Amino acid sequence: MASTTKEKVGWSTANILVVLFAIIPVLWILSLSFKDPSSLTDGSFVPKDWTWSNYKGIFKTSEFTRALVNSIGIALISTFVAVLFASMAAYAIARLRFPGKSVLIGMSLLIAMFPAISLVTPLFNIERNLGIFDTWIGLIIPYITFGLPLAIYTLSAFFREIPWELEKAAKMDGATPFQAFTKVIAPLAAPGMFTTAILVFILCWNDFLFAISLTSTLRARTVPAAIGFFTGSSQFESPIGSIAAASVIITIPIIVFVLFFQRRIVAGLTSGAVKG
Amino acid sequence: MSADTQTIAAEPVSAPVAKKQKKQLSEGARAERRLGFILCAPAVIIMLAVAAYPIIYSIWLSLQRYDLRFPDQAKFIGFSNYGAVLSSRYWWEAFFNTVVITVVSVVIELALGMALALVMHRTIWGRGGVRTSILIPYGIVTVVAAYSWQFAWTPSTGYLSRLFGDAAPLTSHWQAMAVIILAEVWKTTPFMALLLMAGLALVPEDLQKAAKVDGASAWQRFTQVTLPLMKPAILVALLFRTLDAFRIFDNIFILTSGGHNTGSVSILGYDNLFTALNLGIGSAISVLIFICVAIIGFLFIKGFGAAAPGSEMR
């Protein structure tokens, strides 16, 4: 493709605009998190006095640390279970002949598009009756449910691309079924499963509605919900600094995922939707 | 090379096996079927138990007078809750807000997302950097992004407020709606752009070249060649985003908490459950939202012929 200098400048400008559009709100919250309480309300984009005090402040209280533990634990367990069950279902969809496949896919799509609020009301009542309201399991269950359709969808797109004949070939060469699976199929399936796990993790990590509706104390409240309840209590002069610091901390893992696995995340997000 | 030969070597073996399975729906086929059901069972059971059952339960709850403050007075009252909701001004205001936010933000996202997709598709230099940065809005926690916008528009704290002469947009209806739409567009345009970009990749380069040779301008090529070929991808992206925008909750909850009449139907449902503690009315709202979403999905798939994603899966 022959591109003139003018074109190059044009595309570069477009690229820079896109990058700025994407990162300015993130830089702003980062800036707020480093602002001194006295300069918090100066409206400047760059902090004048840099301070770590907001970070020190939130790590002193269990309000944040406990929520962080909850967030990590709940998201990891939900992701693990959802990807495990979804892999089994996606393997069946990609490889086996059995009736009801399209019903299964239709059902998972229906759930993926479900308005979460429609589940909150009944789940609130069911979980109170079962005694799992405000527990880890009470949040893990709806997260698995919403993670499953996404995972089944993405994984079956990935699994259809795997050259399954290699498994037979390996067996012909004298490999046991177990060896064929661990040495040939598992390495081929792993990248797709890993990508799916990232997408499901982001889904669970982001949730706010279930987190505020199905918890009432620090026992199971995740960080997004905890941030929503940060108040300007006596420890903090203004909640803005603490909210900003907590926000930066829960944004870091996402930025790391995105930086390292950009290609895979893009593939995972688009594979199912486009190839149908 | 060796992988190729292995694949070929495997073919003759697999063919007769497949033939045998077809002739008699026998041991092999039945075992395969059984394995299929077993593998899908955990996922299906969870989805049915946690999604299908609660929806049915919520229909049941919506037919009762059920106030959490007076649980003993729960009583079957038929469709009165629906009557109460549908004749209430709050439902229609929330419904109107939700429709405005959905339509405006999805239209802006489609235009912006298409521009972004073209930039990502055509650009050679810095492609990885652009893709990485646009994934940040997708991945970031909605609550965090919403706080970023809220603080940015708070007078004396925010840079945007200062930029616009100490503006306080979150204190009036339409301006607050505009900020909500801005936050929604920022967060979800990348997703739209990625879906559209994948659609762009399916447009054959040859067709573009042929049109160019025939003297079509860049705009003509876009509207006459690219867009028609991208129609399926666009419809899927629109379907996903419309359904997603209709259930908007996080952004509004943080930005305005539904104040200045900016609440969506999801906010209304939440308030009825957790502020008014009225399980009956809350459930009726939940069911109505579910019906709205079903209608939107139906319109897209039957009306516009959007291929239900996954429908071609075999």
pLDDT digits (tens, 9 = 90+) for B15-74: 444 444 445 567 888 888 888 899 999 999 999 898 888 889 989 989 988 887 777 777
Q: What ipTM is given for this predicted complex?
A: 0.89
Q: Does A2 touch chain B (CB under 8 A)?
A: no
Q: Which residue of B has its CA nearest to A8?
A: B125
Q: Is the pLDDT of residue B99 over 90?
A: yes
- Residue contacts between A and B (CB atoms, under 8 Å): 331
Instruction: Summarize the confidence of residues A42-46 as an average pLDDT.
Output: 82
Per the structure block, which two tokens stand in for B35? 């394995």
Quick one: pLDDT at residue A182?
A: 82
Q: Which CATH number fits domain A59-275: 3.30.365.10, 3.40.50.720, 3.40.50.800, 1.10.3720.10?
A: 1.10.3720.10
Q: Which amino acid type is present at position B174?
A: W
Tally of CB atoms within 10 A around B209? 11
What CA–CA distances, in Å, run from A52 to A24, A31, A67?
21, 11, 20
B74: in domain: no
Q: Report angle CA B1, B3, B6 to the nearest 5 degrees.
A: 115
User: B29: which chain A residues are within 8 Å (Cβ-Cβ)?
Assistant: 97
Confidence class for position A272, pLDDT limits 50, 70, 90: low
> Between chains, do B240 and A273 touch, taking CB under 8 Å as contact?
yes
pLDDT value of position B1: 36
Contact indicator for A67, B18 with CB cutoff of 8 Å: no
- Provide, as residue numbers in chain A, all residues whose Cβ is less than 8 Å from the Cβ of B128: 262-263
Q: Report the residue of chain B nearest A206, measured CA to CA.
A: B141
Among all residues of chain B, which has the CA nearest to that of A18? B130
* Structure confidence at residue B306 (pLDDT): 64
Q: Give the angle A232-A236-A239 at the CA atoms, nearest 5°.
A: 45
Q: What residues of B are in contact with residue A101 (Cβ under 8 Å)?
A: 36, 313-314
Average pLDDT over residues B257-268: 90
What residue numbers bound the domain in which B217 lies? 91-303
pLDDT of residue A81: 96
Better-predicted residue by pLDDT, A7 or A208:
A208
Q: Which residue has the higher pLDDT, B3 or B39?
A: B39
Residue A213 with chain B: CB contacts under 8 Å: 270, 273-274
CATH number at residue B128: 1.10.3720.10
Model-level pTM? 0.88
Read off the pLDDT band of A203 (50, 70, 90): very high
Q: How high is the pLDDT of residue B313?
A: 38
pLDDT score at B25: 66
Which of A266, A269, A101 lies closest to B313, judged by CA?
A101
Mean pLDDT confidence for A199-220: 92
Per domain, the residue ranges of chain A are 59-275
Per the prediction, chain A carries an average pLDDT of 86
CB pair distance less than 8 Å for A43 and B159: yes
Among the partner-chain residues B135, B198, B311, the one whose CB lies closest to the CB of A258 is B135
Q: Is A235 near chain B, with CB under 8 Å?
A: no
Distance from CA of B3 to the nearest CA of A (A): 8
Q: pLDDT value at position A204?
A: 94
Q: How many domains does chain B have?
A: 1
Q: Place A178 in a pLDDT band, splitting at 50, 70 and 90.
A: confident
Please tell me the predicted confidence (pLDDT) of residue A171: 83
Across the interface, which of A26, A97, A227 has its CB nearest the CB of B136? A26
pLDDT at residue B20, rounded to an integer: 46
pLDDT tens per residue across span B115-154 = 988 888 877 777 778 888 888 998 899 999 999 999 999 8
The alpha-helical segments, DSSP class H, found in chain A are 5-33, 53-60, 62-95, 101-112, 116-130, 136-159, 165-172, 177-179, 186-206, 209-213, 223-229, 239-275
pLDDT, residue B46, reads 92
In the prediction, which pLDDT does B6 show? 39
User: Between these two residues, A271 and A67, which has the higher pLDDT value?
Assistant: A67
Higher pLDDT: A71 or B133? It is: A71
Residue showing tokens 């646009």: B134
| Record: contact B233-A109, CB cut-off 8 A | no
Are the Cβ atoms of B13 and A123 closer than 8 angstroms? no
pLDDT at B258 over 80: yes
Cβ-in-10-Å burial (0-12, 13-18, 19+) of A187 comes to: exposed
pLDDT band at residue A104 under the 50/70/90 scheme: confident
pLDDT at residue number B314:
32
Q: Would you call A18 and B122 a contact, using CB atoms and an 8 Å cutoff?
A: no
CA–CA gap between residue A133 and residue A125 (Å, rounded) = 9
pLDDT of the residue at A3: 59
Whether residue A59 is predicted with pLDDT greater than 70 in this model: the reply is: yes
Start-to-end CA distance of chain A, whole Å, equals 31
For residue range A117-168, what is the model confidence (pLDDT) as tens digits?
A: 888 888 988 999 999 999 999 999 999 999 999 899 889 888 888 888 888 8
CA distance A74 to chain B (A): 15
- Is A75's Cβ below 8 Å from some Cβ in B? no
Question: Higher model confidence: residue A260 or residue A109?
Answer: A260
Residue B253 lies in a domain: yes
Q: Which of A48-62, A229-243, B215-229, B264-278 has the lowest mean pLDDT?
A: A229-243
Distance CA A159, CA A272 (A): 11
**Secondary structure class of B278 (helix, strand, coil):** strand
Contact between B119 and A166 using a beta-carbon 8 Å cutoff: no
Buried residues in B273-306 as b, exposed as e (16+ CB within 10 A):
bbeeebbbbbbbbbbbbbebbeebbeebbeeeeb
Q: Please tell me which residue, B167 or B313, carries the higher pLDDT value.
A: B167
Tell if the CB–CB gap between B43 and A88 is shorter than 8 Å: yes
CA atoms within 13 A on the CB side of B103: 6
Q: How does B234-250 read in b/e, with b if 16+ C-beta sit within 10 Å?
A: bbbbbbbbbbbbbbbbb
Q: How far is B178 from chain A (nearest CA, A)?
A: 16
Instruction: Write the pLDDT tens digit of every residue in B159-217.
Output: 888 888 888 888 888 999 999 999 999 999 998 998 898 888 888 888 888 888 888 88
Query: In Å, how far is B128's CA from the nearest CA of chain A?
Result: 8
- Residues of chain A with pLDDT > 70, as a percent, come to 94
Give, in degrees to the nearest 5, the angle at Cα B210 between B229 and A12. 75
Q: What angle do CA A270, A157, A208 make, to 5 degrees?
A: 55
Q: Is residue B149 part of a domain?
A: yes
Whether chain A has a CB inside 8 Å of the CB on B162: the answer is yes
CA distance A42 to chain B (A): 6
